Structure 1
Protein backbone atom coordinates (compact mmCIF):
# COMPACT_ATOMS: atom_id res chain seq x y z
CA UNK A 1 0.00 0.00 0.00
CA UNK A 2 2.83 2.40 0.73
CA UNK A 3 3.75 3.06 -2.92
CA UNK A 4 0.12 3.74 -3.81
CA UNK A 5 -0.27 5.96 -0.75
CA UNK A 6 2.75 8.01 -1.82
CA UNK A 7 1.35 8.50 -5.32
CA UNK A 8 -2.09 9.49 -4.05
CA UNK A 9 -0.63 11.99 -1.58
CA UNK A 10 1.60 13.49 -4.25
CA UNK A 11 -1.41 13.95 -6.53
CA UNK A 12 -3.46 15.50 -3.74
CA UNK A 13 -0.76 18.02 -2.86
CA UNK A 14 -0.03 18.97 -6.47
CA UNK A 15 -3.64 20.01 -6.97
CA UNK A 16 -4.09 21.73 -3.63
CA UNK A 17 -4.94 25.44 -3.33
CA UNK A 18 -1.97 26.48 -1.19
CA UNK A 19 0.76 28.66 -2.71
CA UNK A 20 3.49 29.19 -0.11
CA UNK A 21 4.88 32.15 -2.04
CA UNK A 22 1.53 33.81 -2.73
CA UNK A 23 -0.22 36.76 -1.14
CA UNK A 24 0.27 36.39 2.61
CA UNK A 25 -3.25 37.33 3.70
CA UNK A 26 -4.90 35.05 1.16
CA UNK A 27 -2.58 32.12 1.81
CA UNK A 28 -2.97 32.36 5.58
CA UNK A 29 -6.72 31.93 5.13
CA UNK A 30 -6.28 29.02 2.74
CA UNK A 31 -3.77 27.33 5.02
CA UNK A 32 -6.03 27.68 8.05
CA UNK A 33 -9.02 26.31 6.15
CA UNK A 34 -7.00 23.32 4.97
CA UNK A 35 -5.89 22.54 8.52
CA UNK A 36 -9.36 23.11 9.97
CA UNK A 37 -10.81 20.56 7.56
CA UNK A 38 -8.86 17.82 9.36
CA UNK A 39 -10.55 17.03 12.68
CA UNK A 40 -8.40 16.80 15.80
CA UNK A 41 -8.99 13.56 17.75
CA UNK A 42 -11.56 14.01 20.48
CA UNK A 43 -9.17 12.92 23.22
CA UNK A 44 -6.80 15.84 22.55
CA UNK A 45 -7.38 18.73 24.94
CA UNK A 46 -6.02 22.21 24.25
CA UNK A 47 -5.57 25.32 26.36
CA UNK A 48 -4.29 28.83 25.72
CA UNK A 49 -1.36 29.91 27.86
CA UNK A 50 1.70 32.16 27.86
CA UNK A 51 5.34 31.31 28.33
CA UNK A 52 7.79 34.15 28.77
CA UNK A 53 5.12 36.55 27.54
CA UNK A 54 4.64 34.58 24.31
CA UNK A 55 1.24 32.99 23.55
CA UNK A 56 1.26 29.21 23.31
CA UNK A 57 -1.23 26.38 22.89
CA UNK A 58 -0.84 23.46 25.29
CA UNK A 59 -1.97 20.03 24.12
CA UNK A 60 -2.58 17.01 26.31
CA UNK A 61 -3.47 13.48 25.36
CA UNK A 62 -4.48 10.70 27.78
CA UNK A 63 -1.71 9.47 30.04
CA UNK A 64 0.75 12.33 29.50
CA UNK A 65 3.65 12.59 31.93
CA UNK A 66 3.68 16.09 33.51
CA UNK A 67 7.41 15.89 34.20
CA UNK A 68 8.34 16.09 30.49
CA UNK A 69 7.37 18.48 27.71
CA UNK A 70 7.62 18.92 23.95
CA UNK A 71 8.18 22.54 22.90
CA UNK A 72 6.82 22.67 19.37
CA UNK A 73 7.62 25.25 16.66
CA UNK A 74 5.25 25.20 13.69
CA UNK A 75 6.27 25.68 10.08
CA UNK A 76 4.89 27.43 6.97
CA UNK A 77 7.77 29.64 5.89
CA UNK A 78 7.74 32.07 8.84
CA UNK A 79 4.69 33.75 7.29
CA UNK A 80 1.75 31.34 7.55
CA UNK A 81 0.32 29.05 10.21
CA UNK A 82 -0.12 29.37 13.95
CA UNK A 83 0.13 27.39 17.15
CA UNK A 84 -3.54 26.47 16.79
CA UNK A 85 -2.96 25.24 13.23
CA UNK A 86 -0.17 22.96 14.46
CA UNK A 87 -2.32 21.08 16.98
CA UNK A 88 -2.86 18.01 14.78
CA UNK A 89 0.81 17.22 14.16
CA UNK A 90 2.01 18.40 17.56
CA UNK A 91 -0.60 16.21 19.25
CA UNK A 92 0.56 13.23 17.17
CA UNK A 93 4.02 13.78 18.66
CA UNK A 94 2.55 14.33 22.13
CA UNK A 95 0.60 11.08 22.05
CA UNK A 96 3.56 8.98 20.95
CA UNK A 97 5.97 10.56 23.40
CA UNK A 98 3.54 10.57 26.33
CA UNK A 99 4.15 14.24 27.10
CA UNK A 100 2.23 17.45 26.77
CA UNK A 101 3.09 19.46 23.68
CA UNK A 102 3.38 23.24 23.84
CA UNK A 103 3.16 24.99 20.48
CA UNK A 104 4.62 28.48 20.31
CA UNK A 105 2.63 31.22 18.57
CA UNK A 106 5.73 33.12 17.48
CA UNK A 107 5.37 36.35 15.53
CA UNK A 108 5.14 36.04 11.74
CA UNK A 109 6.75 37.85 8.82
CA UNK A 110 6.53 40.16 7.02
CA UNK A 111 4.85 42.10 9.85
CA UNK A 112 7.50 40.89 12.30
CA UNK A 113 10.85 40.17 10.73
CA UNK A 114 13.94 38.38 12.01
CA UNK A 115 14.80 38.06 14.85
CA UNK A 116 11.20 38.26 16.17
CA UNK A 117 10.44 34.54 15.75
CA UNK A 118 13.77 33.58 17.32
CA UNK A 119 13.22 35.93 20.26
CA UNK A 120 9.80 34.39 20.87
CA UNK A 121 11.14 30.83 20.71
CA UNK A 122 13.92 31.61 23.20
CA UNK A 123 11.47 33.44 25.50
CA UNK A 124 9.04 30.52 25.46
CA UNK A 125 11.82 28.06 26.24
CA UNK A 126 13.02 30.25 29.11
CA UNK A 127 9.43 30.47 30.34
CA UNK A 128 9.12 26.68 30.35
CA UNK A 129 12.30 26.43 32.42
CA UNK A 130 10.93 29.09 34.78
CA UNK A 131 7.82 26.94 35.28
CA UNK A 132 10.07 24.26 36.71
CA UNK A 133 10.52 21.84 33.81
CA UNK A 134 14.17 20.71 33.78
CA UNK A 135 15.99 21.34 30.50
CA UNK A 136 16.90 17.65 30.26
CA UNK A 137 13.18 16.78 30.25
CA UNK A 138 12.31 19.06 27.33
CA UNK A 139 12.38 18.07 23.66
CA UNK A 140 12.23 20.76 21.01
CA UNK A 141 10.39 19.70 17.85
CA UNK A 142 9.65 21.65 14.69
CA UNK A 143 8.69 21.22 11.07
CA UNK A 144 9.84 23.14 7.98
CA UNK A 145 10.56 26.73 9.05
CA UNK A 146 9.84 25.57 12.58
CA UNK A 147 12.57 22.98 12.18
CA UNK A 148 14.97 25.69 11.12
CA UNK A 149 13.82 27.79 14.06
CA UNK A 150 14.51 24.87 16.41
CA UNK A 151 18.09 24.67 15.09
CA UNK A 152 18.51 28.45 15.37
CA UNK A 153 17.08 28.46 18.89
CA UNK A 154 19.47 25.73 20.01
CA UNK A 155 22.37 27.69 18.54
CA UNK A 156 21.22 30.87 20.32
CA UNK A 157 20.71 29.41 23.80
CA UNK A 158 24.32 29.85 24.83
CA UNK A 159 24.10 33.58 24.13
CA UNK A 160 21.28 33.72 26.68
CA UNK A 161 23.06 31.55 29.28
CA UNK A 162 20.38 28.89 28.91
CA UNK A 163 21.02 25.13 28.95
CA UNK A 164 20.34 22.87 25.99
CA UNK A 165 17.16 20.77 26.11
CA UNK A 166 17.31 17.00 26.38
CA UNK A 167 17.09 16.61 22.60
CA UNK A 168 15.52 18.01 19.45
CA UNK A 169 13.76 16.55 16.42
CA UNK A 170 13.19 18.44 13.18
CA UNK A 171 11.02 17.46 10.22
CA UNK A 172 12.02 18.76 6.76
CA UNK A 173 13.93 21.69 8.30
CA UNK A 174 14.39 24.90 6.33
CA UNK A 175 17.82 26.01 7.47
CA UNK A 176 19.14 27.96 4.45
CA UNK A 177 17.41 31.22 3.59
CA UNK A 178 19.69 31.58 0.56
CA UNK A 179 17.94 28.53 -0.97
CA UNK A 180 21.30 27.44 -2.36
CA UNK A 181 21.10 23.68 -1.81
CA UNK A 182 21.45 21.54 -4.91
CA UNK A 183 18.07 19.89 -4.27
CA UNK A 184 16.35 23.25 -4.86
CA UNK A 185 17.12 22.47 -8.52
CA UNK A 186 17.35 18.70 -8.69
CA UNK A 187 14.13 18.01 -6.73
CA UNK A 188 12.05 20.89 -8.08
CA UNK A 189 9.98 18.69 -10.40
CA UNK A 190 9.47 16.06 -7.70
CA UNK A 191 8.35 18.39 -4.92
CA UNK A 192 4.54 18.78 -4.96
CA UNK A 193 4.49 21.45 -2.23
CA UNK A 194 7.40 23.91 -2.43
CA UNK A 195 9.17 25.84 -5.16
CA UNK A 196 12.51 27.66 -4.92
CA UNK A 197 10.81 30.88 -5.99
CA UNK A 198 8.24 30.67 -3.21
CA UNK A 199 10.92 30.02 -0.60
CA UNK A 200 13.02 32.94 -1.80
CA UNK A 201 9.97 35.22 -1.52
CA UNK A 202 9.30 34.15 2.05
CA UNK A 203 13.01 34.32 2.95
CA UNK A 204 13.14 37.96 1.94
CA UNK A 205 9.93 38.64 3.87
CA UNK A 206 11.52 37.11 6.96
CA UNK A 207 14.97 38.65 6.67
CA UNK A 208 14.14 42.09 5.27
CA UNK A 209 17.44 43.94 4.94
CA UNK A 210 19.43 41.27 6.78
CA UNK A 211 21.86 39.05 4.90
CA UNK A 212 20.08 35.82 3.89
CA UNK A 213 23.05 33.88 5.28
CA UNK A 214 22.70 35.37 8.78
CA UNK A 215 23.58 32.34 10.95
CA UNK A 216 20.66 32.54 13.37
CA UNK A 217 18.23 32.82 10.46
CA UNK A 218 20.06 30.27 8.30
CA UNK A 219 21.50 27.91 10.92
CA UNK A 220 23.27 25.89 8.25
CA UNK A 221 25.88 28.65 8.66
CA UNK A 222 25.74 28.79 12.49
CA UNK A 223 28.13 27.42 15.09
CA UNK A 224 26.38 24.23 16.20
CA UNK A 225 28.96 23.18 18.76
CA UNK A 226 27.39 21.86 21.94
CA UNK A 227 23.87 21.36 20.57
CA UNK A 228 21.52 18.81 22.11
CA UNK A 229 21.22 15.42 20.40
CA UNK A 230 19.44 16.04 17.12
CA UNK A 231 17.16 13.93 14.91
CA UNK A 232 16.57 15.10 11.34
CA UNK A 233 13.84 13.57 9.15
CA UNK A 234 13.34 14.54 5.52
CA UNK A 235 11.66 13.20 2.39
CA UNK A 236 13.63 12.47 -0.76
CA UNK A 237 11.03 14.23 -2.93
CA UNK A 238 11.46 17.73 -1.55
CA UNK A 239 13.56 20.71 -2.46
CA UNK A 240 14.75 21.01 1.15
CA UNK A 241 16.43 17.60 1.05
CA UNK A 242 19.82 19.27 0.81
CA UNK A 243 19.04 21.52 3.79
CA UNK A 244 18.62 18.42 5.92
CA UNK A 245 21.71 16.69 4.54
CA UNK A 246 23.91 19.74 5.07
CA UNK A 247 22.53 20.38 8.56
CA UNK A 248 23.35 16.80 9.54
CA UNK A 249 26.85 17.06 8.06
CA UNK A 250 27.57 20.37 9.77
CA UNK A 251 26.25 19.13 13.10
CA UNK A 252 28.35 15.96 12.84
CA UNK A 253 31.43 17.97 11.90
CA UNK A 254 30.94 20.01 15.08
CA UNK A 255 30.61 16.91 17.27
CA UNK A 256 26.85 17.01 17.74
CA UNK A 257 25.19 13.63 18.19
CA UNK A 258 22.94 13.59 15.14
CA UNK A 259 20.69 11.05 13.45
CA UNK A 260 19.54 11.58 9.87
CA UNK A 261 16.58 9.72 8.36
CA UNK A 262 15.79 10.17 4.67
CA UNK A 263 12.41 8.67 3.77
CA UNK A 264 12.11 7.74 0.07
CA UNK A 265 9.60 9.26 -2.32
CA UNK A 266 7.70 11.31 0.26
CA UNK A 267 7.02 15.07 0.29
CA UNK A 268 7.74 17.99 2.56
CA UNK A 269 6.63 17.41 6.18
CA UNK A 270 5.13 14.04 5.24
CA UNK A 271 4.75 13.35 8.98
CA UNK A 272 1.64 15.52 8.88
CA UNK A 273 -0.23 12.97 6.75
CA UNK A 274 -0.30 10.02 9.13
CA UNK A 275 -3.97 9.42 8.31
CA UNK A 276 -3.06 8.84 4.66
CA UNK A 277 0.50 7.55 4.66
CA UNK A 278 1.98 4.63 6.57
CA UNK A 279 5.45 6.19 6.26
CA UNK A 280 4.25 9.18 8.27
CA UNK A 281 3.18 7.11 11.24
CA UNK A 282 6.42 5.13 11.14
CA UNK A 283 8.46 8.34 11.06
CA UNK A 284 6.54 9.77 14.03
CA UNK A 285 7.12 6.52 15.92
CA UNK A 286 10.84 6.79 15.18
CA UNK A 287 10.91 10.40 16.37
CA UNK A 288 9.10 9.47 19.58
CA UNK A 289 11.55 6.63 20.22
CA UNK A 290 14.47 9.03 19.73
CA UNK A 291 12.99 11.55 22.18
CA UNK A 292 12.16 8.98 24.86
CA UNK A 293 15.57 7.36 24.49
CA UNK A 294 17.29 10.67 25.12
CA UNK A 295 15.06 11.57 28.05
CA UNK A 296 15.94 8.25 29.66
CA UNK A 297 19.64 8.88 29.02
CA UNK A 298 19.41 12.21 30.87
CA UNK A 299 17.37 10.89 33.82
Structure 2
Protein backbone atom coordinates (compact mmCIF):
# COMPACT_ATOMS: atom_id res chain seq x y z
CA UNK A 1 0.00 0.00 0.00
CA UNK A 2 1.32 3.44 -0.93
CA UNK A 3 1.90 5.80 1.98
CA UNK A 4 -0.22 8.92 1.38
CA UNK A 5 1.38 12.30 0.83
CA UNK A 6 2.48 13.85 4.12
CA UNK A 7 -0.34 16.33 4.94
CA UNK A 8 2.11 19.03 6.09
CA UNK A 9 3.92 18.82 2.75
CA UNK A 10 0.62 18.86 0.86
CA UNK A 11 -0.02 22.30 2.37
CA UNK A 12 3.49 23.51 1.44
CA UNK A 13 3.46 22.47 -2.25
CA UNK A 14 1.40 25.45 -3.49
CA UNK A 15 3.95 27.80 -1.89
CA UNK A 16 6.98 26.30 -3.63
CA UNK A 17 8.65 27.91 -6.69
CA UNK A 18 9.88 26.54 -10.04
CA UNK A 19 6.54 25.10 -11.09
CA UNK A 20 5.83 27.00 -14.33
CA UNK A 21 8.37 26.20 -17.05
CA UNK A 22 6.40 28.13 -19.67
CA UNK A 23 7.18 31.44 -17.96
CA UNK A 24 10.46 30.56 -16.25
CA UNK A 25 13.83 32.03 -17.18
CA UNK A 26 17.18 31.07 -15.65
CA UNK A 27 17.24 34.36 -13.75
CA UNK A 28 13.65 34.07 -12.52
CA UNK A 29 14.37 30.51 -11.33
CA UNK A 30 17.44 31.71 -9.44
CA UNK A 31 15.51 34.63 -7.95
CA UNK A 32 12.69 32.35 -6.84
CA UNK A 33 15.00 29.92 -5.03
CA UNK A 34 16.88 32.81 -3.44
CA UNK A 35 13.60 34.36 -2.29
CA UNK A 36 12.54 31.05 -0.75
CA UNK A 37 15.79 30.90 1.21
CA UNK A 38 15.47 34.55 2.25
CA UNK A 39 11.90 33.98 3.44
CA UNK A 40 13.25 31.63 6.09
CA UNK A 41 15.74 34.17 7.42
CA UNK A 42 13.66 34.72 10.56
CA UNK A 43 14.32 31.12 11.56
CA UNK A 44 17.95 30.88 12.72
CA UNK A 45 19.95 28.33 10.70
CA UNK A 46 21.29 25.24 12.48
CA UNK A 47 24.36 26.48 14.40
CA UNK A 48 27.80 25.22 13.41
CA UNK A 49 31.17 26.11 14.93
CA UNK A 50 32.16 28.08 11.82
CA UNK A 51 30.99 28.78 8.28
CA UNK A 52 33.63 30.41 6.09
CA UNK A 53 33.62 31.49 2.44
CA UNK A 54 36.65 30.06 0.61
CA UNK A 55 37.74 29.16 -2.92
CA UNK A 56 38.45 25.79 -4.50
CA UNK A 57 39.82 24.95 -7.91
CA UNK A 58 37.29 24.46 -10.69
CA UNK A 59 37.93 23.18 -14.18
CA UNK A 60 38.45 26.69 -15.58
CA UNK A 61 39.50 28.72 -12.55
CA UNK A 62 38.65 29.36 -8.90
CA UNK A 63 35.15 28.61 -7.61
CA UNK A 64 33.41 30.13 -4.63
CA UNK A 65 32.78 27.59 -1.87
CA UNK A 66 31.66 27.58 1.74
CA UNK A 67 33.44 25.62 4.45
CA UNK A 68 31.41 24.35 7.42
CA UNK A 69 33.19 23.05 10.50
CA UNK A 70 31.63 21.75 13.69
CA UNK A 71 34.77 20.54 15.52
CA UNK A 72 38.50 21.13 15.58
CA UNK A 73 39.52 17.49 15.59
CA UNK A 74 40.52 15.23 12.73
CA UNK A 75 37.32 14.37 10.90
CA UNK A 76 35.79 13.19 7.64
CA UNK A 77 35.47 15.69 4.79
CA UNK A 78 32.46 15.98 2.47
CA UNK A 79 32.35 17.82 -0.85
CA UNK A 80 28.74 18.93 -1.31
CA UNK A 81 26.97 19.95 -4.54
CA UNK A 82 23.72 21.90 -4.31
CA UNK A 83 20.59 21.16 -6.30
CA UNK A 84 18.46 23.50 -8.38
CA UNK A 85 18.38 21.76 -11.75
CA UNK A 86 22.03 22.74 -12.39
CA UNK A 87 20.61 26.20 -13.23
CA UNK A 88 19.19 27.77 -10.10
CA UNK A 89 20.73 26.79 -6.75
CA UNK A 90 23.72 28.35 -4.99
CA UNK A 91 25.57 28.38 -1.68
CA UNK A 92 22.84 30.39 0.06
CA UNK A 93 19.87 28.29 -1.10
CA UNK A 94 21.48 25.14 0.32
CA UNK A 95 23.15 26.64 3.39
CA UNK A 96 20.88 24.82 5.84
CA UNK A 97 21.37 21.47 4.15
CA UNK A 98 25.14 21.86 4.30
CA UNK A 99 24.96 22.84 7.97
CA UNK A 100 22.87 19.80 8.87
CA UNK A 101 25.31 17.59 6.99
CA UNK A 102 28.19 18.97 9.07
CA UNK A 103 26.26 18.70 12.32
CA UNK A 104 24.91 15.18 11.84
CA UNK A 105 27.96 13.56 10.24
CA UNK A 106 30.69 15.38 12.17
CA UNK A 107 32.38 16.09 8.85
CA UNK A 108 33.94 19.24 7.51
CA UNK A 109 31.63 20.14 4.61
CA UNK A 110 32.75 22.12 1.56
CA UNK A 111 29.76 23.35 -0.47
CA UNK A 112 30.86 24.11 -4.04
CA UNK A 113 29.38 26.85 -6.25
CA UNK A 114 29.94 25.16 -9.62
CA UNK A 115 29.41 27.05 -12.88
CA UNK A 116 25.79 26.95 -13.99
CA UNK A 117 23.98 26.75 -17.31
CA UNK A 118 22.98 28.28 -19.61
CA UNK A 119 26.10 30.46 -19.22
CA UNK A 120 28.22 27.30 -19.00
CA UNK A 121 26.60 24.17 -20.36
CA UNK A 122 27.44 20.49 -19.94
CA UNK A 123 29.98 19.24 -19.05
CA UNK A 124 30.97 22.43 -17.17
CA UNK A 125 29.21 21.65 -13.88
CA UNK A 126 30.50 18.07 -13.88
CA UNK A 127 34.05 19.18 -14.66
CA UNK A 128 33.91 21.73 -11.83
CA UNK A 129 32.58 19.12 -9.39
CA UNK A 130 35.38 16.68 -10.21
CA UNK A 131 38.06 19.40 -10.16
CA UNK A 132 36.83 20.69 -6.80
CA UNK A 133 36.87 17.19 -5.31
CA UNK A 134 40.45 16.63 -6.50
CA UNK A 135 41.46 20.00 -5.05
CA UNK A 136 39.91 19.19 -1.67
CA UNK A 137 41.73 15.85 -1.62
CA UNK A 138 45.01 17.58 -2.44
CA UNK A 139 44.44 20.09 0.39
CA UNK A 140 42.95 17.62 2.87
CA UNK A 141 45.17 18.89 5.73
CA UNK A 142 43.27 22.21 5.54
CA UNK A 143 39.93 20.46 5.95
CA UNK A 144 39.20 17.24 7.88
CA UNK A 145 42.77 16.04 7.62
CA UNK A 146 41.96 12.40 6.82
CA UNK A 147 42.29 11.37 3.16
CA UNK A 148 40.71 7.97 3.95
CA UNK A 149 37.43 9.61 5.01
CA UNK A 150 36.37 11.82 2.11
CA UNK A 151 32.89 11.65 0.63
CA UNK A 152 30.78 13.41 -1.97
CA UNK A 153 27.16 14.41 -1.51
CA UNK A 154 24.45 16.34 -3.30
CA UNK A 155 20.73 16.68 -3.82
CA UNK A 156 18.86 16.50 -7.13
CA UNK A 157 21.19 17.99 -9.78
CA UNK A 158 23.83 18.00 -7.05
CA UNK A 159 23.19 14.30 -6.50
CA UNK A 160 23.75 13.84 -10.22
CA UNK A 161 27.09 15.66 -9.94
CA UNK A 162 28.09 13.64 -6.87
CA UNK A 163 27.28 10.35 -8.63
CA UNK A 164 29.24 11.28 -11.75
CA UNK A 165 32.13 12.59 -9.64
CA UNK A 166 32.28 9.29 -7.76
CA UNK A 167 32.67 7.47 -11.10
CA UNK A 168 35.36 9.91 -12.25
CA UNK A 169 37.21 9.49 -8.95
CA UNK A 170 37.24 5.71 -9.29
CA UNK A 171 38.55 6.00 -12.85
CA UNK A 172 41.30 8.37 -11.65
CA UNK A 173 42.34 6.07 -8.82
CA UNK A 174 40.95 8.40 -6.13
CA UNK A 175 39.40 6.42 -3.29
CA UNK A 176 36.29 7.94 -1.76
CA UNK A 177 34.81 6.64 1.47
CA UNK A 178 31.17 7.29 0.59
CA UNK A 179 28.63 9.01 -1.64
CA UNK A 180 25.27 10.45 -0.56
CA UNK A 181 22.89 10.82 -3.51
CA UNK A 182 19.70 12.62 -2.53
CA UNK A 183 16.86 12.18 -5.07
CA UNK A 184 19.48 12.26 -7.85
CA UNK A 185 19.00 12.75 -11.58
CA UNK A 186 20.58 9.62 -13.08
CA UNK A 187 19.34 9.32 -16.68
CA UNK A 188 18.57 12.32 -18.90
CA UNK A 189 18.69 10.51 -22.25
CA UNK A 190 15.68 11.87 -24.11
CA UNK A 191 15.73 15.04 -21.99
CA UNK A 192 12.53 13.99 -20.17
CA UNK A 193 10.71 14.76 -23.44
CA UNK A 194 11.01 11.41 -25.21
CA UNK A 195 8.01 9.11 -24.69
CA UNK A 196 10.00 5.90 -25.01
CA UNK A 197 12.72 7.05 -22.60
CA UNK A 198 10.14 8.29 -20.10
CA UNK A 199 8.30 4.96 -20.21
CA UNK A 200 11.30 3.27 -18.60
CA UNK A 201 10.51 5.15 -15.40
CA UNK A 202 6.79 5.04 -14.47
CA UNK A 203 7.25 7.77 -11.84
CA UNK A 204 7.73 10.28 -14.67
CA UNK A 205 4.07 9.73 -15.57
CA UNK A 206 2.70 9.01 -12.08
CA UNK A 207 4.31 12.15 -10.62
CA UNK A 208 4.48 14.25 -13.78
CA UNK A 209 2.82 17.19 -12.06
CA UNK A 210 1.22 18.27 -8.80
CA UNK A 211 4.07 17.42 -6.43
CA UNK A 212 6.41 20.46 -6.78
CA UNK A 213 9.01 19.12 -9.24
CA UNK A 214 7.31 18.28 -12.53
CA UNK A 215 8.46 16.32 -15.54
CA UNK A 216 8.05 19.48 -17.65
CA UNK A 217 10.39 21.42 -15.36
CA UNK A 218 12.95 18.61 -15.63
CA UNK A 219 12.71 18.95 -19.41
CA UNK A 220 13.32 22.70 -18.99
CA UNK A 221 16.38 22.09 -16.79
CA UNK A 222 17.86 19.55 -19.21
CA UNK A 223 17.28 21.93 -22.11
CA UNK A 224 19.45 24.51 -20.37
CA UNK A 225 22.19 22.16 -19.16
CA UNK A 226 22.70 20.19 -22.39
CA UNK A 227 23.87 22.11 -25.44
CA UNK A 228 23.05 19.06 -27.57
CA UNK A 229 20.28 16.58 -26.62
CA UNK A 230 22.55 13.71 -27.67
CA UNK A 231 24.73 14.51 -24.65
CA UNK A 232 22.04 12.86 -22.53
CA UNK A 233 23.57 9.43 -23.15
CA UNK A 234 26.93 10.52 -21.69
CA UNK A 235 27.59 8.92 -18.27
CA UNK A 236 28.84 12.28 -16.97
CA UNK A 237 25.23 13.50 -17.01
CA UNK A 238 23.50 10.09 -16.97
CA UNK A 239 25.48 7.95 -14.51
CA UNK A 240 22.93 5.15 -14.87
CA UNK A 241 24.34 4.71 -18.39
CA UNK A 242 27.94 4.21 -17.23
CA UNK A 243 29.29 0.96 -18.64
CA UNK A 244 30.71 -0.20 -15.32
CA UNK A 245 29.74 0.78 -11.78
CA UNK A 246 31.94 -1.75 -9.98
CA UNK A 247 34.42 -0.43 -7.46
CA UNK A 248 32.57 2.80 -6.68
CA UNK A 249 32.42 4.26 -3.19
CA UNK A 250 29.71 2.80 -0.90
CA UNK A 251 26.49 4.71 -1.45
CA UNK A 252 23.43 6.02 0.31
CA UNK A 253 20.67 6.76 -2.21
CA UNK A 254 17.40 8.45 -1.31
CA UNK A 255 14.32 9.08 -3.40
CA UNK A 256 10.91 10.59 -2.71
CA UNK A 257 7.78 8.61 -3.48
CA UNK A 258 5.92 11.55 -5.07
CA UNK A 259 8.80 12.60 -7.35
CA UNK A 260 9.19 12.13 -11.11
CA UNK A 261 12.85 11.21 -10.39
CA UNK A 262 11.90 8.36 -8.03
CA UNK A 263 12.32 5.42 -10.38
CA UNK A 264 15.62 6.46 -11.94
CA UNK A 265 17.03 6.99 -8.44
CA UNK A 266 15.87 3.52 -7.43
CA UNK A 267 17.27 2.10 -10.69
CA UNK A 268 20.65 3.61 -9.86
CA UNK A 269 20.61 2.15 -6.34
CA UNK A 270 19.74 -1.24 -7.85
CA UNK A 271 22.51 -0.91 -10.47
CA UNK A 272 25.07 -0.05 -7.79
CA UNK A 273 24.05 -3.09 -5.75
CA UNK A 274 24.18 -5.32 -8.83
CA UNK A 275 27.74 -4.08 -9.45
CA UNK A 276 28.75 -5.07 -5.92
CA UNK A 277 28.75 -1.56 -4.44
CA UNK A 278 27.48 -1.51 -0.83
CA UNK A 279 24.31 0.57 -1.16
CA UNK A 280 21.63 1.69 1.29
CA UNK A 281 18.37 2.94 -0.17
CA UNK A 282 15.69 5.19 1.38
CA UNK A 283 12.47 5.38 -0.64
CA UNK A 284 10.99 8.50 0.97
CA UNK A 285 7.45 7.31 1.68
CA UNK A 286 4.93 10.15 1.66
CA UNK A 287 7.52 12.71 0.53
CA UNK A 288 8.24 14.95 -2.46
CA UNK A 289 11.37 16.08 -4.27
CA UNK A 290 13.20 18.63 -2.14
CA UNK A 291 12.19 17.18 1.21
CA UNK A 292 15.72 17.54 2.66
CA UNK A 293 14.90 21.26 2.74
CA UNK A 294 11.53 20.77 4.46
CA UNK A 295 12.63 19.21 7.74
CA UNK A 296 11.77 22.30 9.78
CA UNK A 297 8.13 21.96 8.71
CA UNK A 298 7.63 18.21 8.25
CA UNK A 299 8.58 15.65 10.89
CA UNK A 300 8.38 12.92 8.22
CA UNK A 301 10.88 14.78 6.03
CA UNK A 302 13.15 15.44 9.01
CA UNK A 303 13.25 11.79 10.08
CA UNK A 304 13.95 10.47 6.58
CA UNK A 305 16.76 12.97 5.98
CA UNK A 306 18.29 12.21 9.37
CA UNK A 307 18.23 8.46 8.66
CA UNK A 308 20.06 8.96 5.36
CA UNK A 309 22.66 11.25 6.93
CA UNK A 310 23.21 8.71 9.73
CA UNK A 311 23.91 5.99 7.17
CA UNK A 312 26.29 8.34 5.36
CA UNK A 313 28.06 9.15 8.65
CA UNK A 314 28.62 5.44 9.31
CA UNK A 315 30.26 5.02 5.90
CA UNK A 316 32.45 8.11 6.39
CA UNK A 317 33.55 6.95 9.85
CA UNK A 318 34.51 3.56 8.45
CA UNK A 319 36.72 5.17 5.80
CA UNK A 320 37.88 4.13 2.36
TM > 0.5? yes
Q: Is the 8 A contact 2:164 2:236 kept in 1?
A: yes
2:53 corresponds to which residue? 48
- The 4+ residue runs of structure 1 with deviation greater than 6 A are none
Deviation at 1:77, TM superposition (A): 0.5
Could you tell me which runs of 5 or more consecutive residues in structure 2 were left unpaired when the two chains were aligned: 193-197
Distance 1:273 1:205 in 2: 26
1:151 corresponds to which residue? 163
Distance 1:217 1:185 in 2: 22
Distance 2:313 2:76 in 1: 10
Q: Is 1:90 equivalent to 2:98 in the alignment? A: yes
Deviation at 1:71, TM superposition (A): 1.1
Q: Is 1:281 equivalent to 2:286 in the alignment? A: no
129 and 186 in structure 1: CA distance in 2 versus 1, 3 angstrom threshold: same
Deviation at 1:288, TM superposition (A): 2.8
2:37 corresponds to which residue? 35
Deviation at 1:163, TM superposition (A): 1.2
1:50-129 residue pairs with structure 2 within 5 A?
50-52=55-57, 53-61=62-70, 63=71, 65-129=73-137
1:211 to 197, 211, 231: 231
Q: Is the 8 A contact 1:193 1:268 kept in 2?
A: yes
Q: Is the 8 A contact 1:107 1:120 kept in 2?
A: yes
1:172 to 177, 180, 183: 183
SS in 1 for 2:94: helix
2:245 corresponds to which residue? 224
TM-score normalized by structure 1? 0.91
1:267-291: CA deviation from partner (whole Å, max 9, x where unpaired): 0021211111112222232223222
Q: Is 1:137 equivalent to 2:149 in the alignment? A: yes
Q: Is the 8 A contact 1:57 1:84 kept in 2?
A: no
TM-score normalized by structure 2? 0.85
Distance 1:20 1:293 in 2: 39
Deviation at 1:69, TM superposition (A): 1.4
SS in 1 for 2:64: strand
1:195 corresponds to which residue? 214
SS in 1 for 2:246: coil
182 and 164 in structure 1: CA distance in 2 versus 1, 3 angstrom threshold: farther
162 and 20 in structure 1: CA distance in 2 versus 1, 3 angstrom threshold: farther
1:122-174: CA deviation from partner (whole Å, max 9, x where unpaired): 11111111113444211211100100111111111244x24131101111111
Distance 1:225 1:151 in 2: 13
Q: Is 1:248 equivalent to 2:260 in the alignment? A: no
SS in 2 for 1:142: strand
Deviation at 1:111, TM superposition (A): 0.8
Q: Is the 8 A contact 2:5 2:287 kept in 1?
A: no
Deviation at 1:5, TM superposition (A): 9.0
Distance 2:233 2:108 in 1: 34
1:168-216: CA deviation from partner (whole Å, max 9, x where unpaired): 1111111121332221002224x52111111112112111114212111
Number of equivalenced pairs: 294
1:11 corresponds to which residue? 11
The alignment yields a C-alpha RMSD, in angstroms, of 2.1
